[in-house]
């Protein structure tokens, strides 16, 4: 069932253009802020317990709905799990936008090129086109794990509840990073939320780490194994319990799998195209491995 759901989700991700408008996780941030406002002065809640409550409540609700639908009719359970999985493969269709970015560059459409770069990286774009391409490559390698392979990993382990847990943890972590500077300016607010934000970083790092290692292995298998392994071994002692380090490992090992040096590589559109191809080869490898495990009766 997991294999079939993932295959359908990839088809939906590829061909349904309205997904970006449907994927909104503002509710999880609002719920998190409400919990923090209510219990930030309570040491018992301003830590891991508060974070667990924020994540487990929607996950528990998802489990109840999935169980009821699956018991009523297996097809309804399948459709619900598919909807949750597609919802969690976001919030943006990074690979689709990257393809449009490459096409715009090949047709020398500067306006569209800047538009798609802004969609991928945000409004604060570097002035140098090569630096923009470098950041797009990094975005692709990191998003392949965070938006696809990591979601698939937890979906296979825990069903739609696992995918939802991973995505909420990622959204809360990104929100804490975006508001980190604002909180530092207000020392009292920073003090109130410090333990909660630290717990958010730690939980997401734990959830992210193992899928990131498997993604790196996929880069190695679909690229230069020796070069990737050498880079991986030099970084693996440092990237646990730190999402930024895991993301940095994904970027550097992805480049090494294509025998590229991040310090000397000229990041042109051809490089972006090669990185995009590597990302999809890694996804295909994961799906193939899951298919083999399913045939062997080791996966659902």
Return all residues near 202 (Cβ < 8 A) that are at least 6 apart: 241
Contact 39, 45 (CB under 8 A): yes
Backbone angles phi, psi at 47, to 5 degrees: -165, -150
> Which residue's entry shows tokens 């086109």?
129
Q: CA–CA separation, 85 vs 121, rounded Å? A: 24
The tens digit of pLDDT for each residue in 219-234 reads 999 999 999 999 998 8
pLDDT score recorded for residue 254: 95
Hey, is 9 helix, strand or coil? helix
**Binning pLDDT at 50, 70 and 90, where does residue 58 land?**
very high
The tens digit of pLDDT for each residue in 85-129 reads 999 997 788 999 999 999 999 998 999 999 999 999 988 898 899
Hey, is 186 helix, strand or coil? coil
Return all residues near 128 (Cβ < 8 A) that are at least 6 apart: none
Question: Of residues 185 and 82, which shows the higher confidence score?
Answer: 82
From the list 231, 294, 217, the residue with the least C-alpha distance to 261 is 231
Pull the structure tokens for residue 76: 């309804």
> Which residue's entry shows tokens 């491995």?
289
pLDDT score recorded for residue 207: 93
Question: Of residues 10 and 190, which shows the higher confidence score?
Answer: 10
Say how many residues make up the chain: 300
| Other Cβ atoms within 10 Å of 276 Cβ, number | 21
Mean pLDDT lowest among 63-72, 91-100, 184-193, 218-227? 184-193
The tens digit of pLDDT for each residue in 246-273 reads 899 999 999 999 999 988 888 999 999 9
> Which residue's entry shows tokens 């979906």?
155
**pTM: predicted TM-score of the whole model, two decimal places:** 0.90
pLDDT score recorded for residue 238: 64
């Amino acid at each position: 069932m997991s294999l079939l759901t993932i295959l359908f989700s990839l088809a939906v991700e590829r061909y349904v253009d309205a997904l970006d408008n449907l994927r909104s996780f503002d509710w999880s941030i609002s719920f998190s802020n409400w919990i923090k406002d209510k219990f930030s002065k309570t040491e018992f809640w301003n830590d891991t317990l508060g974070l667990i409550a924020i994540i487990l409540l929607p996950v528990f609700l998802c489990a109840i709905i999935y169980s009821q639908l699956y018991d009523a009719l297996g097809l309804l359970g399948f459709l619900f799990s598919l909807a949750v999985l597609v919802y969690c493969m976001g919030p943006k269709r990074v690979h689709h936008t990257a393809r449009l970015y490459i096409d715009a560059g090949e047709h020398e459409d500067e306006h569209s090129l800047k538009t798609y770069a802004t969609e991928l990286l945000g409004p604060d774009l570097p002035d140098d086109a090569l630096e923009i391409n470098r950041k797009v490559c990094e975005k692709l390698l990191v998003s392949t794990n965070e938006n696809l392979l990591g979601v698939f990993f937890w979906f296979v382990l825990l069903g739609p509840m696992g995918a939802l847990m991973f995505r909420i943890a990622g959204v809360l972590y990104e929100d804490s990073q975006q508001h980190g500077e604002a909180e530092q300016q207000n020392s009292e607010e920073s003090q109130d939320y410090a333990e909660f934000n630290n717990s958010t970083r730690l939980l997401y790092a734990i959830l992210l780490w193992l899928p990131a290692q498997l993604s790196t292995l996929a880069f190695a298998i679909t690229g230069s194994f020796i070069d990737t392994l050498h880079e991986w071994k030099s970084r693996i002692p440092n990237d646990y319990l730190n999402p930024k380090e895991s993301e940095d490992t994904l970027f550097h090992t992805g480049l090494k799998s294509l025998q590229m040096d991040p310090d000397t590589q000229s990041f042109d559109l051809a490089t972006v195209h090669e990185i995009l191809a590597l990302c999809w080869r890694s996804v295909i490898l994961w799906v193939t491995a899951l298919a083999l495990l399913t045939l062997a009766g080791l996966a659902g």
